Chain A
Amino acid sequence: MSLLTIIGLLPLVISILIVAIPSKNIGLIKKVAFGGTTVIAIISILLAVGFDKSGTSLQYVQSNAWIPTFNINYSVGIDGISLVLILLSTILVPIVVLATWHESDRGRWSAKVFYVLILILETMMIGVFAATDLFLFYVFFEAMLIPIYFLIGGYGSGNKSAAAVKFLLYSLFGGLLMLASIIGIYVISGNQIGATFDLAQLATLEIDNQTENFLFLGFFIAFAIKAPLWPFHTWLPDAAKAATPGTSVLLLGVLDKVGTYGMIRFCIQLFPDASKTFTPLIITLAVISIIYGAFMAIGQKDIKGLIAFTSISHFGFITMGIFAMTSQGMSGANLYMVNHGFSTAALFLIAGWMMMRRGSSTISDFGGLQRVTPVMAWVFFIAGMSGLALPGLSSFVSEFLVLVGTYTRYPVAAIIGTLGIILAALYILIPVQKILHGPTTPGNEYLTDLNLREKIAIAPVILVIVLMGFYPKPVLDLINSTSEQVVTNAGFSDPVAKVDK
């Protein structure tokens, strides 16, 4: 059994443990959930330690027959891209559990259900990034909607059940389109090389152009809904506003990455020709997302809505980097996924604490927090600066790589994208100024600063943001060779000599 399988199964084991604890013993449930997910995070770091960075083939592979009738296998394995995303997931979960210690108490159901859902979700997040069998991937991709749906609908606030349904229906719709494409490529593989879902084998198929375009679109729309790209994004702000901050972290930080990850792993690897055909369209959508998300973010009155729209803008950058089809763009996009995960986590968690203390999520209700709650203010400031990609913080490196990578092939798109950075300064600095600086406005005088638990929870996130800003090499090393390989496999080469990273 591969270490990967063990890591994937551990959350399920812990969730069974939690089921066995009586519902009344909430304290113990929380401790087990936190302890368990921390252990998983540590073991998953071992995964990175044992990972051969120079290798381009899949590692930690395991394959067992699951449904032999259709040649469906439980096949897992990771390359650099999936490794960093699995790390992102396993590290964020314990942070979320610790940071939102009391979130689970105010839900429709008991805290026990909350942690069981989170743990099931963690298994599926690991599975979705580890799967190398298309069918297995699809199963995780769709099944992970269910725990998130119940997390939003059962523990969220405001118009939560409508938001949960909108999220679910959008995702299901995309997923079903993808299912049609999966069936299509499966049948084509049956006609050419013997029916299979194995990704490596599927990538060798010769598909005629028209069919390939349709199959590509089935996948792409599903991922564009997931990673929300304009115009498929409308579910995200609702879901982010309704979900608890912790759920939002997992939703935007990890789950939406499945969309961009899918574009790299499936759209480009399985359908390189169609990817070329659609690249201009996709780059256009990405640029629109960058600008649209930024403008909408500037106009937001709600702090969660603000973070949601900044994410749409950031996902535009990631998509642009992916479809620029240069190794810098690809590496940048991959790094961006990780950085966005951490900076969104920081923003949502700190926003959650602010909202909990103030009892409001409207930006204008806050004011002058710097004087009252200096630690919270500083953390919010750093998270915000990371969101606008300030040099020295993690997002800068990835945004820079994406823009450089895109410029070599699509200069116009890159230049318009740069506008997004300027707008980012607006949408972050205006709220930062309103919330943190100036005189303390009524209602904010007696807010309490972060307590020890919250400080411990947020510290690693801030640490990662700063470290990755100055020294992104460890993560880039993991990503680079895979990224280059993806671009090469798709039949592209870098238009200019590589810049030294």
Chain B
Amino acid sequence: MLTAPSLGYSLLAPMLIVLAGAVIGVLVEAFVGKARRTAIQITLSIGVLLLSQQQLWRIKDLSSTTAAVGSVTIDKAGIFLQATIILLSLVAVLLIADQDNFVAQASALPGSPEEQNALQEKSQQTEIFPLFLFAVSGMMLFTVASDLVTLFVALEVFSLPLYLLAGLARRRRLLSQESALKYFLLGAYASAFFLFGAAFLYGYSGTISLVEISAAVGSANDVFLLIGIIFISVGLLFKVSAVPFHSWTPDVYQGAPTPITAFMAACTKVAAFGAILRIFYVGFAESQTIWRPIITTIAIITMLFGSIVAIAQRDVKRMLAYSSIAHAGFLLSGVVALNKDGLAASLFYLFAYGFATLAAFGIIALIRDSSGEVSDLNRWVGLGKKSPLTAAAFSFLLLSFAGIPLTSGFVGKFAIFSAAYQSGNISLVVVGVLASAIAAFFYIRVIIMMFFTDPVNDSVSVIIPSVKSKISISASLLISFVLGIAPSLLLTTAGNYANFIR
């Protein structure tokens, strides 16, 4: 007879609340009248996120490996990562709430009369909110999952909604749908690789638990361990868009509705790197001689590739996509460091990078012409003259991505590189600074276009943002700014929370 597993509901509450919010969101879609849905969905999303954050605050000093029969480990680092995801989501949901970025009726074919009707009737569908909440809950689970099957489930729970959300852009729908399909197909392959690797690790160690896999190292033929680690890594590196598994990134960043790009770029990175850190720090720490050279190489290639290819980009969203690839390389340096400093630095970096990214994409969504958003950089010329404040804010974010001192990006880079140097990976530090120098070139080029080039007639304008966007963009900007000047509070917190329990 099966006995019901004992669950630590109190520790799982933050995740369960978001999941419940998502389910209620689906019910709202089914039973509430069209007119009131939007308001209810937004309130619901913000409400559950706040509640979940409050629950995280309550359990912030607790830890347990048995909250869900050994498949979830609640620990300091997990709580920090979950809190980061929720804070980022809170900002992101305000961007998503600007619904004119989304298709009115996803089932209507692009260009069809149904689409026109839906637009004219303003019958905006609101299924994005439950999808968003499902994705958030999956991300939260991903960062605390401590066995391979739970990891896989969490991976799918947050990936599937994202595949859908990526295809929901109102304008340039075909591009958006193409990107969604590409993301889905490649993502499905990556998931399959992950599962395949999990099977090999199970075959090697006879267990799916990360801790027990770590304990089993050396007990059987290491080839299976190697194959398992490599395949698992492929699945994970796909999610963080490390080279050579990055090819979806520019297309999806460009095609997806900008608020979704913002959400994806910020939160997926946190979730996926959270999982990578846990898997490598907890599960594979004993077998580091096997994977460290591989991940080091990938980190180096990713940093260089992302920075170099970004130079050739003419679309701001694609450029930021390649920049996010380069940042994935920097973050991998923190993984390779494999020490407490590396973990703390990665936690800080993810937080800081997340908010800068949200703010950047939030601003991109404001820059439009009559037919919608303009992401072609050539048409951004002279923006500094028309809307100096917006252009200055965007420049500040670019400088932060480039890692100029007094920005949050610099502190993060410094922390990551000193951890990498500490662990003896000097080559990573040298390549990292070289890649930063290359990257500086294209960030600065955008600043030149905005400030030092005269506007041409067909150039674009900045729409007046809604209150929600305004709040979300200014909050992210403020956080980025404060983290640059006075990073010590978050650094100390990240240092205190940089701990995986086994």
Contacts and interface: CB of A to CB of B under 8 A. Distances in A.
B404 interface: yes
Nearest to A177: B433
B407 to A, nearest CB: 9
B346 to A, nearest CB: 14
A142 B405 contact: yes
Interface in A111-141: 138-140
A438 to B, nearest CB: 40
Interface string A138-152: 111011011000100
A55 B422 CA distance: 38
B117 interface: no
Interface in A198-246: none
Contacts of A180: 417, 429-430, 432-433
A187 B418 contact: yes
Interface of B is mostly: helix
Contacts of B491: 67, 69-70
Contacts of A146: 399, 404
B7 interface: no
Scoring B436, B453, B492 by chain A CB atoms within 10 A of each residue's CB, the highest score goes to B436
A158 B275 CA distance: 52
Contacts of A177: 433
Interface stretch (B160-168, B263-271, B440-448): B440-448
A67 B488 CA distance: 5
Contacts of B437: 169, 172-173, 176
Contact of B492 (A69, A143, A164, A168): A69
A177 B433 CA distance: 7
Contacts of B79: none
Given A66-B488, A68-B488, A139 B452 contact: no
Contacts of A161: 448, 452-453
Interface in B428-474: 429-430, 432-434, 436-437, 440-441, 444-445, 448, 451-453
Nearest to B385: A108
A176 B410 CA distance: 11
A183 B488 contact: no
B444 A165 contact: yes
Nearest to B438: A173
Contacts of A142: 404-405
A169 B451 contact: no
A179 B433 CA distance: 8
A69 B495 contact: yes
Interface in B476-494: 487-488, 491-492
A184 B424 CA distance: 10
A164 B451 CA distance: 12
Contacts of A69: 344, 488, 491-492, 495
A81 B8 CA distance: 65
A169 B418 CA distance: 23
B96 interface: no
B406 interface: yes
Contact of A184 (B415, B421, B445): B421
A138 B404 CA distance: 10
Nearest to A152: B452
A154 interface: yes
A67 B433 CA distance: 22
A67 B411 contact: yes
B109 interface: no
A181 to B, nearest CB: 9
Interface in A179-193: 179-180, 183-184, 186-187, 190
A165 B443 CA distance: 11
Interface string B395-428: 0000100101110000100110110011000100
A146 B453 CA distance: 18
A321 interface: no
A370 B344 CA distance: 68
Interface residues of A, number: 34
A501 to B, nearest CB: 39
A111 to B, nearest CB: 15
A106 to B, nearest CB: 15
Contact of B418 (A65, A70, A168, A173): A70
B415 A70 contact: yes
Given A142-B405, A169-B441, A180-B433, A108 B452 contact: yes
Nearest to B492: A69
Q: Which size class do B's interface residues fall under?
A: 35 or more
B501 to A, nearest CB: 22
Contacts of A387: none
A11 interface: no
Contacts of A160: 452
Nearest to A145: B404
A39 to B, nearest CB: 26
A176 B433 contact: yes
Nearest to A190: B422
Nearest to B434: A176
Scoring A70, A143, A177 by chain B CB atoms within 10 A of each residue's CB, the highest score goes to A70
Contact of B452 (A143, A154, A186): A154
Nearest to A68: B488
Contact of A183 (B406, B421, B448, B492): B421
A153 interface: yes
B492 A68 contact: yes
A173 to B, nearest CB: 5
A146 B404 CA distance: 9
Scoring A66, A138, A150, A172 by chain B CB atoms within 10 A of each residue's CB, the highest score goes to A172
A177 to B, nearest CB: 6
B422 A187 contact: yes
Contact of A153 (B426, B451, B495): B451
Contacts of A190: 422
A183 B429 contact: yes
Given A146-B399, A176-B434, A169 B452 contact: no
A179 B451 contact: no
Nearest to B413: A179
Contacts of A186: 418
Given A70-B415, A187-B422, A143 B406 contact: yes
Interface string B374-404: 0000000000010000000000000100101
A154 B429 CA distance: 34
Interface string A46-67: 0000000000000000000111
Contacts of A168: 440, 444
A108 B451 contact: yes
Contact of A154 (B399, B433, B444, B451): B451
A161 B448 CA distance: 7
A81 B344 CA distance: 39
Scoring A65, A69, A165, A173 by chain B CB atoms within 10 A of each residue's CB, the highest score goes to A69
Nearest to B494: A69
A187 B421 contact: yes
A227 B445 CA distance: 25
Nearest to B404: A142
Nearest to A161: B452
A143 B405 contact: yes
Contacts of B402: 172
Nearest to B406: A143
Nearest to B440: A172
Interface of A: 65-70, 108, 138-140, 142-143, 145-146, 150, 153-154, 160-161, 164-165, 168-169, 172-173, 176-177, 179-180, 183-184, 186-187, 190
Given A169-B441, A176-B440, 13 more contacts: A67-B411, A67-B491, A68-B492, A69-B488, A139-B405, A143-B404, A145-B404, A165-B445, A172-B404, A176-B437, A183-B421, A184-B421, A187-B418
28 contacts: A69-B495, A70-B418, A70-B491, A138-B405, A139-B405, A139-B406, A140-B405, A145-B404, A154-B452, A160-B452, A165-B448, A169-B440, A169-B441, A169-B444, A172-B404, A173-B437, A176-B433, A176-B434, A176-B436, A179-B433, A180-B430, A180-B432, A183-B417, A183-B429, A184-B421, A186-B418, A187-B421, A187-B422
* 10 smallest beta-carbon distances between A and B, as pairs: A161-B452, A69-B491, A139-B405, A176-B433, A142-B405, A173-B437, A67-B488, A180-B433, A187-B421, A176-B437
